[in-house]
Amino acid sequence: MSKTLFERIAAKEIPANLVYEDEHVIAFRDLHPQAPTHILIVPRKPIPRIAEATPADHAVLGHLLLKAAEVAAKVGLSNGYRLVINNGPDGGESVPHLHCHILGGRAMSWPPG
C-alpha cells in the first residue's frame, strides 16, 4: 500500500512549511489556505479518517487536539480559531489520512458551508 500525501510529508519526503512536530503529530501550513492562517495538524499514525479511529487511538486523538490548541496559540490566534475535521467525501475529505484544520486570522461565520 502506498503512503498518503501526509505520511510522505511527515517522513520529509515532500517539503512543507512546518509549524510544529513531535513524535506523534506534525503541523504545517496548508498550500491552499481558506483563511489568513490555515494550518493542518496530522497524526503520524495513518488513521484514514475519524470514523475509522478505534479506542486504541485514544491517546493520539487527545494529543492531536491538545497540540492543535498549542499550535494555534504559537501562531498568534489569540482572538479565536476554528478546528475542522472532515470525514468522507460529503464531509470534504480530500486526503484519506485523519487531519485537523486550524483556521483563523479572521472572523468565522456560521454555518460554515
18-21 and 37-43 beta bridge pairing:
unpaired
Q: Which of 19, 20, 22, 25 lies closest to 7 in space, CA to CA?
A: 25
The x, y and z cell numbers of residue 52, run together, are 475509522
**Does the annotation count 99 as an active-site position?**
yes
The x, y and z cell numbers of residue 14, run together, are 515532500
| Partners of residue 102 on adjacent β-strands | 39, 83
Hey, is 38 helix, strand or coil? strand
Residue of 32, 38, 99, 101 marked catalytic: 99
> What are the residue numbers of the active site?
99
